[in-house]
Amino acid sequence: MKLLVLAAFIALCAGHVIPDVPGDESRFVEDDNRYVWMADDEGNQVLVDTQEPIDYEFIARNGANNQYWLFTRQNPTNRQVITNGNVNSIRNSNYRGNRPTKVIVHGWRNSGTTEMNPLITSAFLAVQDCNVIVVDWSRLASNINYNTAAAGVPSVGQFLGNFLVWLFNNGGGNWNQLHLVGFSLGAHVVGVAGRTAGGRPGRVTGLDPAGPGWPNNGNRLSRNAGRYVEAIHTNGRDLGIMNPSGDADFYPNGGRRQPGCGSTSCSHGRANEFFAASVRNNHLAGLRCADIREAENNNCRGSRFNMGNAIVGKSGSGLYAMTTRAAWPF
């Protein structure tokens, strides 16, 4: 935390006063949109300089540091590590190629042990006998420089995509039964991974894909990442992206601020909770919108389409909005 305070001081030293941590939905530093507050792994607000130079030396080949943790119904809470290139790590694990495979990827300042991972893992295993692979890319994601972590996303995604090709070639697997799920920067990671694997994953889900620096980034989550791609937007135009990012895009409660949340980090992370709840219950449905304005105003009257859930063969398209409750299961 001392390093965070020092970084904030250095970033604002040119005549700026270090602002108080916002206690509400505000994110940008007053009168200076270069500096923004973002939440770390524990929900602490971190002051980020959006123009901080990228440390290219740090991110070189950083995707090689990805770790792949397997969870199944035989080991729902104790991870088994599968090492890329080591076939014995597959053979000695509970991985089974005839099961559906789910892959979960965390975001910036998160890790493989962040709460979203057991939350979504347990939801998947509760409804389906499957392989769940949690990707830990914390060596890069833990970098205090957001721009450096974001610039490393293509490498992390490429290594993940190549790992999945290797895994299916050596341990078996069905691309039509593969579901990639990523949160924040992790949503863009799974986008790159899906494209690296030739767009073969049956389903790709982006949970409030990261916004800062991504609206016009060619590496962001997009429809060509898999057979069916969807995004759940919960903090658009703030920590998350508002742009449509898949075949189907969901904007619960207008896609920007979520009921029961008093901070942007809460609204951002609510996408994980919505998704986990939908996997368990498949009860959250949106109404189709004519355009993004209708979605943001939560004023849509079109056909219904379920958000989230665990169905790998899901298909659909369009923009959807809905109203949820403020607490689990929403």
Which residues are catalytic, by number? 184, 208, 268
**Structure tokens belonging to residue 298:** 């939560």
Cβ density class 232-270: b for 16+ within 10 Å, e for less: bbbbbebbbbbbbbbbbbbbbbbbbbbeebebbbbbbbb
Exposure on the CB side of residue 40, measured as CA atoms within 13 A: 13
Q: Is 67 exposed, middle or buried (0-12, 13-18, 19+ CB in 10 A)?
A: middle
Strand 203-207 versus strand 228-232 pairing type:
parallel
Distance CA 206, CA 195 (A): 14
* Strand 248-252, strand 28-29: pairing: unpaired
Q: 């219904």: which residue's tokens?
A: 304
